[in-house]
Amino acid sequence: MSEPLRKEIKSALNKVSQAFAALGDFTTFSALSIATIIKKPSAGTMIPICFRVGVQSVPVVAITGMFIGMVMAIQVFSQFQSLGMATQIGQIINVSVIKELGPVLAATMLAGRIGSSMAAELATMRVTEQVDALICLGVNPLHYLVLPRVLACVLLIPILTVLANFMGVFGGSMVCTEIFKVDPYHYWQNSRGHIQIWDLSVGLIKPIFFGAAISLISCHRGMNSRAGAEGVGKAATSAFVWSFMSILVLDFFLALFFNNLHQAIWPDNSIKTFGPK
Amino acid sequence: MDSSSSNPNFLSLQNAGMAFNGVDILRNINFNIPKGQTLVVIGESGCGKTVLLKLLISLLQASTGKVLFDGQDWCALDEKRTNEQRLRFGFLFQGAALFDSLTVFDNVAFGLRAHSNYNEKEIEKLVLMRVKEVGMKESVLEKKPAELSGGMKKRIGLARALILKPEVMLYDEPTTGLDPIMTDVINDLILQTRKNMPVTSIVVTHEMRTVHKVADRVIMFYPLARLKPNEPQLIFDGTTDELFKTPDLRVQQFIHGEAKERTLESENHEHRDEIS
């Protein structure tokens, strides 16, 4: 084997081993953080974080959700109208928003808004020795800093997703009925039959995983930040990039898993819906 | 001042070394700190003084050798016991490291809320007492750390470190970036702390006035990058009087702030770089 080839192989193996080491580090960090749940976090630490994650994200999530529905309506209306199916447009908007676009885009917005801010905050605490100060005061930083953020995201991102879904459905219906003058009665009647309880449940379960991924990745990036302003900036950027990628990867695997589960439970595809089939 | 007879090896480093990414920062460090002593650590920036403090409280684990506190090796302790031992320390960080999101009151009360059964009224009383001890007014309690000056932050950092009545106080460059008056105030607070409670102090500093004022004993580190492989990194260990009388040129250069040879040295390096 030639020397340059040997060097290339060695460098590739090094990169693979570094990637595994980073994955191992993140897994250990996540496990240790979640394990601290045996001691309940105090209300004093939970409430401000829940306020920032939940209440302060409402406008961003509501606007994002509403515009997703509105844009969907504009994009699909002409095709449906040309087929003479304008009154059927609600079902495609609602199913798309509730099953995919609402959870994924709400999580993406929250990764940008909350994830980056968490990473920057923890990175600043790290480089200004506030994390060391916590340890010196006998407090586990994973319990005090990471666990409340994880819990807040896991509990509140699903609720924010419901809001995004609602606003998406509302935005889509407003564009169809007010701008494109689709008859509201037929619009809602045709929409009802196609939203399954299963879809709603999956749409609520997925954000739990997205919330856990966003918070754990962001906290991990922040707690392992390098020194200086550059280190803090990089932590915030990489928190968003990795959170976004993990949302898409998780979305794929969760969709695959839930589809298989659905097939296993209802092989004949008999499904419960809110309205007449 | 010397109460070393009670426990001469209260804190102890045995062949301790520390490396980051394969680069040695500390190498084969050996010394003991008796209970009640005020030890001042001096040395150039980057010679490992802050790393030493972090080894003493087990914020960092020694790469080689042992760090012992009260006869116990930090590495041999489980997490619970390590935390218990850490609570016997107070640490005044270089930038004070006050928690940005909390008020001054909450910062000082933090340790009490986490580790005591005092009610809020008792905590308030204790916090007020500590804040007054460090020469601050009650009106500062509702402020956020961002609203404080450098000297005020250091004093609040000291109040927070002292709230749990530590047996060992670690000061990381407590007077860096402060004006001469505030430097003197902080030095007085270090002395006052030792007077008020039986505390062992380790002070990392560049400030010769601090050395003069607070030290029972002084040690000096030298950067490993300028030492030969077998040369000891601890180049001085003695009293303040001995420090000023030592014939070691490296020590004299440091205490008198003479950069002449160092500047020439770096100019020669630059010249060589240009030629190459």
Find residues 96-125 of chain A whose CB sits inside 8 Å of chain B: 124-125
Q: At what angle do helices A147-174 and A43-53 cross, to 10 degrees?
A: 30
Nearest C-alpha neighbor of B82 from the set B65, B70, B96: B70
- B4 part of a folded domain: no
Q: Are B141 and B131 in contact (CB under 8 A)?
A: yes
Nearest-angstrom CA–CA distance, A218 and A148? 13
Interface test with B, best of A51, A134, A136 (most B CBs within 10 A): A136
**A56-63 average pLDDT score:** 94
Whether residue B161 is found in the same domain as residue B172: no
Q: How far is B15 from chain A (nearest CA, A)?
A: 24
Q: Are A116 and A239 in contact (CB under 8 A)?
A: yes
Q: Are A104 and A135 in contact (CB under 8 A)?
A: no
Query: B99, A138: Cβ pair inside 8 Å?
Result: no
Q: How many CB pairs under 8 A join A and B?
A: 52
Whether residue B269 is found in the same domain as residue B134: no
- A227 part of a folded domain: yes
List of chain B residues whose C-beta atoms are within 8 Å of the C-beta of residue A129 = 93-95, 97
Whether residue B18 is found in the same domain as residue B82: yes
Q: How far is B105 from chain A (nearest CA, A)?
A: 14
- B248 part of a folded domain: yes
Whether residue B84 is found in the same domain as residue B150: no
- A21 part of a folded domain: no
Q: Indicate which CATH number applies to the domain containing B270.
A: 3.40.50.300
- A5 part of a folded domain: no
- B2 part of a folded domain: no
List of chain B residues whose C-beta atoms are within 8 Å of the C-beta of residue A135 = 59, 86
pTM: 0.85
B165, B189, B220 — which closes off a domain?
A: B165
Q: Considering CB atoms only, which of A132, A138, A140 is closest to B93?
A: A132
Q: How many domains does chain B have?
A: 2
Q: Are B13 and B55 in contact (CB under 8 A)?
A: yes
Whether residue B61 is found in the same domain as residue B26: yes
Least confident of A13-17, A154-158, B20-24, B81-85: B20-24
pLDDT of res. A125: 94
Whether residue B127 is found in the same domain as residue B256: no
For chain A, give the mean pLDDT. 90
- B142 part of a folded domain: yes
Nearest-angstrom CA–CA distance, B135 and B158? 11
Question: Does pLDDT of A273 surpass 70?
Answer: no
- A274 part of a folded domain: no
Q: At what angle do helices A89-96 and A58-82 cross, to 10 degrees?
A: 140
Q: Please give the residue range of the domain that contains residue B132.
A: 99-165
- A188 part of a folded domain: yes
Question: Does pLDDT of B259 surpass 90?
Answer: no
For A233, the enclosing helix (H) or strand (E) is helix A228-265
- A94 part of a folded domain: yes
Interface test with A, best of B69, B77, B83 (most A CBs within 10 A): B83
Whether residue B45 is found in the same domain as residue B176: yes
Q: Please give the residue range of the domain that contains residue A152.
A: 45-259
Q: How many domains does chain A have?
A: 1
Whether residue B172 is found in the same domain as residue B156: no
pLDDT of res. B22: 84
pLDDT tens for each residue of B50-63: 999 999 999 999 99
pLDDT bracket for residue A265 (50, 70, 90): confident
Quote ipTM for the complex.
0.87
Q: Which residue of A has its CA nearest to B99?
A: A130
